[in-house]
Structure 1
Amino acid sequence: MARMPSAQRRRQLTEAAITVMARDGVARATTRSIAAEAGVSLSVFHYCFDSKQELVESVITTITDHSVTVVREALRARATLEETVRAGFQAYWDHVRAHPDEHMLTYELTQYALRRPGFAHLARRQYEVYAATYADLIDQLRHTMDFRLRVPVAVLARYLAAVTDGLTLNYLVLGDDATWTGILDTVTAHIAGLVDADTSA
């Protein structure tokens, strides 16, 4: 087996854990099955992760990064702020449709963490990551498009995290692709309404 830097090996094991958890469920994902998915020995797994809590946190962060990467790439400045925001939401929803099992896993991770003694802080960490991610994306937009918000960034970030969380679960349960263009347009218009038009670039 080729030697690999520990950070790269952790990423490999985290991606393997996402695959196994999405397929078998969080509770049934064992260190042995994850190591097998990654093609490494158990000793390599335990060298990279001291505990299942550490692995779960890495999984939460990595899944979030998957979505954020496609959204960040879509958030290049367009003619208007509304068009830019709409592109970001569209990129996110395209990712949800392409990777439903991965997004379903985020809800299972929340329930798993809340119900398992010693893991509850990971559920809180999960939603803190969502809010921090939105705050970062808002700051990215403010830097490139120069506008002023009518609400604090922290408030808008948590609000967007809650809205996205609810809409994602709604889509995973109900599907119905035909309605989502209108839903995304509505959300986009609402977010654009939280910007002072006379100060936006």
Structure 2
Amino acid sequence: MARMPSAERRRQLTEAAIRAMTRDGVTRTTTRSIAAEAGVSLSVFHYCFDSKQALLESVIEAITAHYISVVREAIRPKPTLRETVRAGFEAYWDHVSAQPGEHMLTYELTQYALRRPGFEHLARRQYELYGETYAELLRQLRDTMDLKLTVPVPVLARYLAAMTDGLTLNVLVLGDREAASDLLDLVTEHVLALVDA
């Protein structure tokens, strides 16, 4: 087994955990199955992660990073603000469509953390991370397009996190992607209404 920097090994194990948990579920995924998925020994796993909580936090952060990178790229300024905002939502939605199992895993992680004493902070961190992610994207949009929002960034960020969270779950359950597109158009219009032109 080739030596690899610790941070890179953690990323490798985190991605293996995401694949294993998406396939087998959180409760059925073991440290042994994650190590096997990554092609490393169990001792390497335990060297990189000292607890299940540390692993789950890394998984939550990695999944969020997967879609934030595509959204960040998508919200580079377009000819109109409407096109820019809609492109961001579309990029997120494309990620949900391409990786539904990964998004289902986020809900499973939330429930898992809320039902395990001592793990509740992971669910809280997950949703704080969603809000922080939207706040970062809103600031990027505000600064690159010189916008003035009529509500504070943290408030709008939490609204957008709650809206996309609910919409994602709704479509994962009902499978109505056309309705999701219509709702994203509606949310785009609502966001535009919160910009002081």
The aligned residue for residue 76 of structure 2 is 76
CA shift, 1:117, in A, is 1.1
**1-structure distance, mates of 2:20, 2:133:** 25
**Pair 1:45-2:45 in alignment:** yes
CA shift, 1:108, in A, is 0.2
Gap regions ≥5 residues in structure 1: none
The aligned residue for residue 15 of structure 1 is 15
Amino acid at match of 1:161: A
CA shift, 1:147, in A, is 0.7
Matched residue of 2:70: which SS?
helix
Amino acid at match of 2:142: R
CA shift, 1:180, in A, is 2.7
List per-residue Cα deviations over 1:142-196 (Å, max 9, x = no partner). Answer: 1100010010011000111000100000010011222233211111011110000
CA shift, 1:67, in A, is 0.8
Amino acid at match of 2:180: W
**1-structure distance, mates of 2:159, 2:184:** 15
Say how many residue pairs are matched: 197
Amino acid at match of 2:57: E
Pairs within 5 Å for 1:43-192: 43-192=43-192
CA contact (8 A) 2:77 2:84 kept: yes
Amino acid at match of 1:196: D
Amino acid at match of 1:28: R
Matched residue of 1:7: which SS?
helix
Amino acid at match of 2:54: E
**1-structure distance, mates of 2:37, 2:102:** 16
**1-structure distance, mates of 2:185, 2:108:** 29
**2-structure distance, mates of 1:76, 1:149:** 18
Moved more, 131-140 or 178-187: 178-187
List per-residue Cα deviations over 1:106-147 (Å, max 9, x = no partner). Answer: 000000000011100000000000000000000101110001
**2-structure distance, mates of 1:13, 1:177:** 32
CA contact (8 A) 2:167 2:180 kept: no
Amino acid at match of 1:106: T
CA shift, 1:81, in A, is 1.2
Name the TM-score, length of structure 1 as normaliser.
Answer: 0.97
**1-structure distance, mates of 2:131, 2:179:** 26
**2-structure distance, mates of 1:76, 1:3:** 38
The aligned residue for residue 31 of structure 1 is 31
Amino acid at match of 2:158: R
